[in-house]
């Protein structure tokens, strides 16, 4: 009985929220990094999205669904590489997209409530995209190489920061005048051209 009452209360609350969102033209979004929810004007949120598009010029609105074309090209490419013995059969199979489960990648935005002005963060949802298996496979191959070469200069979390800071102190480099600086690179992944990223990767691997 208690569970039923609680479920009914939650259902009423959810219905009330939906009605208010519709009545006042609001949006409800999960916030970026803050692990809570953002409620705001749908019109203002759309303005923030359009500002992002104008500032980055990194995306275009699709006039038609390119999913079938992308899926076909990926499958044909993997079959061609496998046929020419440029990749092994098991590699081709591992990278091959699932014809029935693949979906078109899409873009959505989460509000960054921890930033002044509450800008938006673009989220590129590529889970299930035709190219995702290729990306995952290449990551398995390249990431260990990157970690082995760049691990000493990379800080991935608080624990690694403390570890590197301890080494820095042991070398006698930590002074009263030592400065700690942070910086934020805006839209790095959306602004970096794909061709340039590939050139950087090739240079790194060589």
- Contact (Cβ atoms closer than 8 angstroms) between residue 139 and residue 126: no
Residue 180 has which token pair?
């700690």
Rounded average pLDDT over 78-92: 97
Query: Residue 142 domain-assigned?
Result: yes
185 located within any domain: yes
11: in domain: no
Separation between Cα atoms, residue 96 and residue 181, nearest integer Å: 44
Per residue in 115-158, pLDDT tens? 889 999 999 999 999 999 999 999 999 999 998 998 888 888 88
Is residue 31 in some structural domain?
no
Chain mean position to CA 3 = 37
Going by pLDDT thresholds of 50, 70 and 90, the confidence category of residue 42 is very high
**How many domains are there within the chain?**
1
Measured distance CA(184)–CA(116) in Å, rounded: 13
pLDDT at 84 over 80: yes
Model confidence, pTM: 0.77
200 is a domain residue: yes
Kindly state whether residue 19 falls inside one of the protein's structural domains.
Answer: no
Separation of alpha carbons 91 and 141, rounded Å: 11
Does a structural domain hold residue 192?
yes
The residue segments making up the domain with residue 160 are 46-205
| Residue 66 placed within a domain | yes
């Amino acid at each position: 009985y208690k569970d039923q009452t609680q479920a009914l209360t939650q259902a009423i609350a959810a219905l009330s929220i939906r009605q208010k969102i519709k009545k006042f033209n609001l949006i409800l979004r999960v916030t970026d990094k803050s692990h809570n929810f953002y409620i705001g004007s749908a019109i203002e949120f759309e303005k923030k999205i359009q500002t992002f598009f104008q500032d980055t010029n990194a995306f275009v609105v699709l006039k038609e669904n390119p999913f079938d074309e992308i899926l076909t090209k990926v499958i044909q490419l993997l079959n061609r590489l496998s046929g020419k013995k440029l990749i092994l059969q098991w590699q081709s199979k591992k990278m091959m997209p699932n014809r029935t489960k693949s979906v078109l990648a899409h873009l959505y935005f989460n509000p960054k409530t921890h930033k002044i002005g509450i800008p938006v963060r673009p989220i590129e949802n590529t889970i299930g995209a035709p190219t995702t298996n290729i990306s995952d496979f290449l990551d398995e191959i390249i990431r260990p190489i990157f970690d082995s070469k760049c691990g000493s200069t990379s800080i991935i979390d608080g624990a690694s920061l403390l570890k590197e800071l301890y080494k820095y102190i042991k070398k006698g480099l930590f002074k009263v005048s030592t400065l700690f600086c942070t910086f934020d690179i805006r839209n790095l992944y959306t602004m970096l051209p794909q061709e340039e990223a590939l050139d950087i990767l090739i240079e790194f691997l060589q």
